[in-house]
């Protein structure tokens, strides 16, 4: 059992460095199916001139995708404030398809069988790695997926909330708050 002191259960180890950046998690996607072409795109917001549309990663001749006319979706499977949202465009049996929801992402990937893919599912649910504490940066590989200790950052008032998370190979997600906060600043809000 876990208490407010922030200890994690036995059998958990530190999440490898660098797995707290969304783009790096996306670059590690390895779909089970061999799609002709695919690309993950971060779509900047039209009302924020400091964001750009960017191809994060892909497979095949991505120019083939870009030469197919399609309307940019208005939403993606993951939203990041100030950055935009992420979606995947891919070709399957000569048809262009888009991934704009979590369920579509899981179907596109297939089996969630890497720590990066599991952390991407957690990221969709606004949970992330906090390398400053074990309570926010630990994982354990289990029979049918992964278990994690991750955190949710709250912006107003600023505080960090640890969670115990499990994500199985089918992409099923469960999270439970550990019932306390740390790094609390009652006088600061980030909007």
Q: Read off the pLDDT of residues 25-69 as tens digits, 9 standing for 90 and up.
A: 999 999 999 998 999 999 987 655 556 788 899 998 877 777 777
Strands 37-43, 84-92: pairing kind: antiparallel
pLDDT-based confidence at residue 173 (cuts at 50, 70, 90): very high
Q: What pLDDT sits at residue 2?
A: 41
pTM to 2 decimals? 0.89
User: In this structure, what is the dihedral angle of CA atoms 78, 80, 84, 89, given to the nearest 10 degrees?
Assistant: -20
Q: Please check whether residue 31 is in contact with residue 92, taking contact to mean a CB–CB distance below 8 angstroms.
A: no
> In Å, how far are 26, 85, 138 from 12, measured between CA atoms?
24, 32, 6
Greater pLDDT, 93 or 102? 102
Residue 83 confidence (pLDDT):
82
Please compute the mean of the pLDDT values over residues 82-94 and round it to a whole number.
Answer: 89
- Of residues 12 and 71, more confidence is placed in 12
Tokens standing for residue 67: 């030469």
Domain extents for the chain?
11-16+111-191, 33-109
Q: Report DSSP state, residue 104.
A: H
pLDDT of residue 3: 43
pLDDT, the chain, mean: 88
Taking CA atoms, 51 is separated from 32, 46, 95, 143, 190, in Å, by 31, 8, 29, 40, 19
Residues 109 and 117: beta-carbon distance below 8 Å = yes
């Amino acid at each position: 059992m876990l208490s407010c002191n922030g200890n994690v259960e036995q059998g958990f180890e530190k999440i490898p460095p660098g797995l707290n950046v969304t783009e790096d998690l996306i670059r590690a996607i390895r779909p089970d199916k061999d799609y002709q072409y695919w690309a993950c795109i971060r779509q900047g917001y039209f009302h924020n001139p400091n964001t750009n549309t960017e191809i994060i990663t892909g497979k095949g001749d991505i120019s083939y995708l870009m030469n197919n006319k399609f309307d940019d979706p208005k939403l993606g499977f993951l939203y990041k404030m100030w950055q935009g949202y992420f979606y995947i465009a891919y070709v399957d049996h000569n048809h262009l398809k888009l991934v704009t929801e979590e369920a579509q992402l899981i179907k596109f990937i297939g089996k969630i069988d890497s720590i990066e893919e599991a952390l991407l599912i957690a990221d969709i649910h606004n949970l992330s790695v906090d390398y400053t504490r074990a309570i926010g940066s630990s994982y354990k590989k289990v029979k049918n997926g992964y278990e994690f200790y991750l955190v949710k950052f709250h912006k107003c008032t600023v505080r960090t909330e640890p969670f115990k998370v499990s994500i199985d190979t089918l992409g099923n997600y469960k999270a439970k708050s550990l019932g306390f906060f740390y790094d609390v600043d009652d006088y600061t809000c980030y909007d």
